[in-house]
Structure 1
């Protein structure tokens, strides 16, 4: 979801700057804001009882987060932290709801965005149930590519490390590396200068 900055500011949003590694919110914090990324990269994650990280998503410029929880009286079920220096626009929950009420077109776009996320979450859950690492990786790559307009094959460049990919699909990094090599050999992806093209 990407709402025009001028519209966000007209409803009382503010710009916040974060350093690399800084937390935007923690698991258990009350959901109070709509966030939109102006520059930078953030990750949404959890840690299990053994301290193993699970990454829910990695988001970049013009993407939003925290929006689905604005409609619920719930606490964040994950952390949000900066993978790079990040500039965000932050709009308080009540102001955001007022913005949607007064701008039905934005509200419809929000529904579309949330529906798309829900759809790909369901697809990802189905893929995660597979014991085949390639199925899990293809599910993730399709999800990531869905946020971009390129319609060529393969041209979408995956801007994630092998470790981040492993954390997103619940596999060991060695398994991801082997599966990616197999996928390259089968023509599903290209790897150029260590970048995955899908």
Structure 2
């Protein structure tokens, strides 16, 4: 765990995607209902079926959202990164959590209470509009994920994931390296692939000299070649 110095809650709320359209006054009021939650790697933040009393924002670290099938197979729905949030939908629906949340690394979260959010939304309808806009964008992203599962091959999903991790790279860039922030089995589950299928595709891409794998470090000799290969 990083140092235990208290954080500036208002600053981190303002930087969160769901609140980045709000003004200082709105942020200050919501901050009164927020508290820090520090988690070591592997700590469960909530279980599927637990009552939802608010939602969480990741200040640093990573959190996986998942559920387990009747056969005991875990499916990772989302990997939540710094600045992102989770749990808002269940808060607005006033329903128990439909997934479990677990820290993938040492993490600091902010828990924002339902009462603080609802009070501000009742006070200022513009806050409601801004938050609903943020939720709509997230829903759109999840729909794109579903489209990928249904219409894209495993190879396309993996290449798309790698390119998304290098969003600041240019297609014509020289070789670039990427350190995977989570394990390969977590990424495989996130992409709706078995570990065996995921590993096989990495080997195929490596044999084509499109990637070079060294543990969690991947080197991409040419972003342009990898991007073009995605839809071949």
Q: TM-score range by the shorter chain?
A: 0.7 to 0.9
Structure 2 unaligned regions, length at least 5 = 1-16, 224-232
Deviation of 1:139 after TM superposition, in Å, equals 5.1
Structure 1 stretch 175-184 or stretch 13-22: which is displaced more? 175-184
| CA 87–19 in structure 1, closer or farther in 2 if over 3 Å, else same | same
Q: State TM-score, norm by structure 1.
A: 0.79
- Aligned equivalent of 2:72: 51
| In 2, Cα distance between equivalents of 1:156 and 1:106 | 40
- Alpha-carbon contact 1:123-1:139 (below 8 Å) kept: no
Q: Which runs of 5+ in 1 are unaligned?
A: none
Compared CA separation, residues 88 and 131, structure 1 to 2 (3 A): closer
Change (3 A) 1:8 1:19: farther
**Equivalent position to 1:182, from 204, 213, 220:** 204
In structure 1, the residue corresponding to 2:95 is in which secondary structure?
Answer: coil
Question: Greater Rg, structure 1 or structure 2?
Answer: 2
- Partners in 2 of 1:100 and 1:149 — Cα distance? 34
1:162 correspondence with 2:184? yes
* 8 A Cα contact 1:150 1:156, kept in partner: no
Structure 1 counterpart of 2:47: 26
8 Å CA contact 2:177–2:217 kept in 1: the answer is: no
Q: State the superposition RMSD in angstroms.
A: 3.2
What TM-score do you get using the length of structure 2 for normalisation?
A: 0.69
Q: Number of aligned residue pairs: give it.
A: 194
Change in Cα spacing, 1:138 to 1:123, as seen in structure 2 (3 Å) is farther
2:88 pairs with 1:67: yes
